[in-house]
Amino acid sequence: MARLTSVHNVQGPWSLAVCRAFWEGFGPAALRDQPSSAAELRTVFRAEHDWTVATATVRQDGPSAHITVEGPGDLDAATAQVVRFLSLDIDARGWPSVGDRDPVMAEAQKAMPGLRPCGFLSPYEAAAWAVLTQRVRRTQAAQQRAALLRNGAFPAPQELRALDLDLFGRKTEYLHAVAEAALDGRLDGSHLRALDAPSAVAAVREITGLGPFGAELVVLRGANHPDAVPHHEPRFQAELTRHYGSTATRDQVSEAWRPYRTWAAFHLRAQAGMPAR
């Protein structure tokens, strides 16, 4: 088993302890068996470059992230994936100014200092979760996801494609379509991140079984696109109304959030104590 350790300089506010505390309660991919130190995070994930299983250990030292990745595959690509799913590749030096423009965001930043969007380990896993949650409770979807894990990691697309699952409706067909899309490179995180958010969402919507909500989930929370607003998330709309009033529209409010609109939406949901699905 090979190992690669690197140091990534994080620009702008970041707290690994705050991110870990959020992620530990994130049902779709909750962290388990964490180190006793809150300044360290460990996770097992499926590396999207070659679909091997990798283990990442992340430690914070001031503004630096010390990342150790172990596995049999391309560890440089796996490290880049870790940096992306923790949003450590985003220059957030301008994030505090969003709070200067918006008192609601200022309060969220104060309550959760250093929180960055995190959660899904890849767009592929986000897409699978979007399928599993269709027409069932989140707890049931989480149980179904847990039953699919292999050695702590989600099955590789070629494995998922071959599984004959007893799921409601057309979900098995949809999961197979997600697997095919992943193998074709259509769910590659770096590719989706390179597109503007509307183009990325439109591309994901071409995958069978992924509607407007699922496609936004894949782009905003799977690829961790930093600057887009969810348009198909009722609970986000409820938080928007609660904080900004019934006449406020997401487009009006989110203007003050640019270029961190995804981050601001994430903070609204996290501040409410709800998992930012």
pLDDT band at residue 223, thresholds of 50, 70 and 90? very high
> What is the per-residue pLDDT across 31-44, written as a single tens digit (0 to 9) for each?
777 887 778 999 99
What one-character-per-residue DSSP string does the chain give?
A: -EEEEEEEE--S---HHHHHHHHTT-GGG---S--SSTTEEEEEEE-TTT--EEEEEEEEETTEEEEEEEESS-HHHHHHHHHHHTTTTS--TTHHHHHHH-HHHHHHHHHSTT------S-HHHHHHHHHHTTTS-HHHHHHHHHHH-BTTBPPPHHHHHH-----STTHHHHHHHHHHHHHTTTT-HHHHHHS-HHHHHHHHTTSTT--HHHHHHIIIIIS--SS---SS-HHHHHHHHHHH-TT--HHHHHGGGTT-HHHHHHHHHHHTTS---
Q: Are β-strands 64-71 and 40-46 bridged in parallel, bridged antiparallel, or unpaired?
A: unpaired
Fold of 2-89: TATA-Binding Protein (3.30.310)
CA 184 to chain centre: 21
- Looking at residue 245, its amino acid is G
pLDDT band at residue 152, thresholds of 50, 70 and 90? confident
CA 222/CA 176 separation, integer angstroms: 18
Res 272: pLDDT: 80
- The rounded mean pLDDT for the chain is 93
Residues 6+ apart with CB under 8 A from 100: 106
Tell me the sheet residues that pair with 7: 66
Give the chain's radius of gyration (CA, Å).
18
**Over 90: is that where the pLDDT of 233 sits?**
no
> What is the per-residue pLDDT across 50-77, written as a single tens digit (0 to 9) for each?
999 999 999 999 999 999 999 999 999 9
Query: Any idea which of 3-7, 28-32, 94-98, 182-186 has the lowest mean pLDDT?
Result: 28-32
Closest CA to 15 of 144, 94, 111: 111
Assigned token pair, 144: 């179904």
Q: Domains of the chain: which residue ranges?
A: 2-89, 123-222
- Looking at residue 11, its amino acid is Q
Closest CA to 222 of 266, 189, 269, 186: 189
Find out if CATH 3.10.450.50 is the number for domain 123-222: no
**Over 70: is that where the pLDDT of 237 sits?**
yes
**Over 50: is that where the pLDDT of 137 sits?**
yes
CA 50/CA 182 separation, integer angstroms: 11
Res 16: pLDDT: 96
pLDDT band at residue 271, thresholds of 50, 70 and 90? confident
CA 5/CA 21 separation, integer angstroms: 24
Average pLDDT of the segment spanning 200-214: 97
**Over 90: is that where the pLDDT of 120 sits?**
yes
Question: How many C-beta neighbours within 10 Å does residue 101 have?
Answer: 12
Res 33: pLDDT: 73
Res 92: pLDDT: 98
pLDDT band at residue 159, thresholds of 50, 70 and 90? very high
**Over 50: is that where the pLDDT of 87 sits?**
yes
